[in-house]
A and B are shown apart, each in its own frame.
Chain A
Amino acid sequence: MPEQVIEKPVAPVARRSGRKPGKSGFGVWVPRLLPYALLVGLVVYFTARSALFLTPDNILIILRSSSVLAVIAFAATLVIIAGSIDLSVGGIAALTGTIAAYLTVEGHPGAIWVALPIGLVCGLLNGALVAYAKLPSFLTTLGVLFILNGIALRITGGASQLMDNELLDELVNGASVLNIPNIIWWAVLVGGLVSVLAYRTPFGRYVYAIGGNERVARLSGLKVERTKLLLFGLSGLLSGVGGLMLIGQGSGSSPGMGDSFLLNAIAAVVMGGTALNGGSGGPLRTIVGVLTLGIVTNGMTLTQVDPNYQTVIFGVIVLLAVIVTVRRAETGVVK
Chain B
Amino acid sequence: MTMTFPGVKALTEVSLTVGAGEVIGLVGENGAGKSTLLSILSGSLRPGAGEIVARGRTLHLHNYAQANEAGIFRAHQDQGLIDNLTVAANLFLGHERRFSRGGLLQHRRLLAAARRQIQADTMLAGRVSEIDQVGDLPLDVRQLVEIARAFAVAELLEVSRPVVLLDETTASLNQDEVTELFAHVRDRRDRASFVFVSHRLNEILELCDRVYVLKDGVVVAERKVGETSEAELHRLMVGREREENHYLEDRRRTQFGAVRLKVDDLSSGDEFHGVSLDVREGEILAVGGITGCGKSHLARAIAGDVRASGTVEVDGRRLPNHRPAARRGRLAFGPLDRHAEGVSLLQSVRWNMTWSSLRDHSRGPFLSPRREKRAVAAGMARYRVAAPSMDTRVGALSGGNQQKVMLARLAGSGARVLVLDNPTRGVDVGARQEIYGHLRDLADAGFSILLVSDDLRELIGMGDRVAVMRDGQVVREWESRGLTEEQIIVGMV
Contact = CB atoms under 8 A, between A and B. Distances in A.
Interface of A: 1-15, 18-23, 196, 199-202, 204-206, 208-209, 212-213, 215-224, 279-280, 330-332
B445 interface: no
Contacts of B328: 220-222
Contacts, number: 157
A23 B34 CA distance: 29
Contact of B355 (A6, A200, A209, A331): A209
Contacts of A213: 340-341, 343-347
B409 A220 contact: yes
Interface of B: 10, 30-36, 39, 45, 76, 79-80, 82-83, 216-217, 303, 305, 324-325, 327-329, 332-333, 335, 339-347, 351-352, 354-356, 358-359, 362, 365-367, 369, 384, 386-391, 393, 395-399, 401, 409, 413
Given A202-B359, A202-B362, A330-B346, A14 B386 contact: yes
Given A13-B386, A21-B390, A2 B397 contact: no
B396 A8 contact: yes
B39 A6 contact: yes
25 contacts: A3-B395, A7-B31, A7-B34, A7-B35, A7-B36, A8-B36, A10-B31, A10-B387, A10-B397, A11-B396, A14-B389, A15-B386, A23-B389, A200-B366, A201-B362, A201-B367, A202-B367, A205-B367, A213-B344, A213-B346, A216-B342, A216-B344, A219-B305, A220-B409, A280-B347
A221 B413 contact: yes
Contact of B45 (A6, A196, A222): A6
Contacts of B358: 202, 205-206
A216 B328 CA distance: 13
A127 B449 CA distance: 37
Contacts of B347: 208-209, 212-213, 279-280
Contacts of A13: 386-388
B3 to A, nearest CB: 19
Contacts of B409: 220
B407 to A, nearest CB: 13
A134 B366 CA distance: 30
Contacts of B367: 199-202, 204-205
A9 B413 CA distance: 30
Nearest to A199: B367
A211 B30 CA distance: 28
A200 B343 CA distance: 22
Contacts of B31: 7-10
A3 B345 contact: yes
B332 A221 contact: yes
A211 to B, nearest CB: 9
A209 B391 contact: no
Residue with the greatest number of chain A CB neighbours at <10 A, chosen from B79, B389, B396: B389
A22 B367 CA distance: 19
A2 B339 contact: yes
A331 B346 contact: yes
Contacts of A212: 344, 346-347, 351
Contacts of B341: 213, 215-216, 219
A220 B356 contact: yes
Contact of A201 (B329, B351, B366): B366
Residue with the greatest number of chain B CB neighbours at <10 A, chosen from A218, A221, A280: A221
- Closest 3 pairs between A and B when the two form their complex, measured CB to CB: A221-B328, A21-B389, A212-B344
Nearest to B327: A221
